[in-house]
Structure 1
C-alpha cells in the first residue's frame, strides 16, 4: 500500500536499469474511489484502506492482462495492442467471465463508432475471432 511506494527497479528493453516509483504504476486513487462510489449507495463511505486495496488490485489486474497481451503482440511483431488482443488475453488467462462481455462491448462500440464516422470508413470490417460472442446477445447500453 502507500507505505510501499518507494522506488523500485526494472530493466528497459535495452538492458539498462530504470527506476520508477511504485505509485506511478497504480491507477489514480481518486478515479478508483469515484468508480467505487458509483456502485455503492449514496450514503456509503469508503475507507482510505479500501480505496488503496482496490487501487492495487485493479492496477495489478490491468498489468497482468496487459503483459499477456504485450507478449502476443511481440510474437506477432506488432507494436499496437487492440481490443481483440485484450479479449484474447483474458480468454487465454482463463478469465472468460470478463472476455465475453468485453467482446460484446467492443462489438457494440465499433458498431456505434461506425455510425459516427464518415462514409469512407464504413468499408472497414472488424474481424471477430475471439471470445465466441453469439449473435443476439443483449449487452445493454454502453457507458
Structure 2
C-alpha cells in the first residue's frame, strides 16, 4: 500500500507520452495541465480498482480479473471503454497462450534418431491421451 498520496500518481513520463499521442502535434500542454491529468488518471484507476474489487468480493474471490474490471466499467457507466478493453484482454490472452505453447524440439545430430522417434511417439500419446 502507498505510504503517501504522491505515491499513488502515475509516472510522469508515461502520462506525458499518453497526452502527446492523444493530441495534435500543434497543441502544447502546460505542466499544470499534465499534473492535473496525472492526478485525474490516478484517481480514475483507484476508483475503478475499488469498484472491480467489490465485484470480486461479490463473487467471493480475492483475485481481481479482467471481467471484474469490465463489470465495474458497466456499473460506473463507462460503456465507451468496455469494447476496447475487451479487445485488449482478448489480445493479451492470445499472446499468453502463444507463449505457453511448447517449443519444438531440436533434432539431435549425434546418432540418437531412435531416442528422437521415441520422444515424438510419447508426445503423440500425450496429445491423444493414450
TM-score normalised by the shorter chain: which range applies?
A: 0.5 to 0.7
- What is the number of equivalent residue pairs in this alignment? 102
Structure 1 gaps, min length 5 = 1-17, 120-143
The alpha carbon displacement at 1:54 in A equals 0.4
Q: 2 CA distance for matches of 1:100 and 1:37? A: 23
* Aligned ranges 1:100-119 → 2 under 5 Å: 100-119=83-102
The equivalent residue for 1:76 is 59
Q: 2 CA distance for matches of 1:93 and 1:42? A: 32
- Structure with a larger share of its residues in helix: 2
- Structure with a larger share of its residues in strand: 1
Matched, 1:52 2:35: yes
Tell me how large the CA RMSD over aligned residues is.
2.2
Larger Rg: 2
The equivalent residue for 2:50 is 67
Q: Kindly indicate whether the alpha-carbon contact (under 8 Å) linking 2:66 and 2:89 is maintained by their aligned counterparts in 1.
A: yes
TM-score, normalising length: structure 1: 0.62
> 1:40 aligned to 13, 16, 23, which one?
23
Q: 1 CA distance for matches of 2:99 and 2:39? A: 36
Q: 1 CA distance for matches of 2:16 and 2:73? A: 25
Q: 1 CA distance for matches of 2:22 and 2:2? A: 36
Structure 2 gaps, min length 5 = 103-130
The equivalent residue for 1:14 is none
TM-score, normalising length: structure 2: 0.67
> 1:88 aligned to 63, 71, 79, which one?
71
The equivalent residue for 1:21 is 4
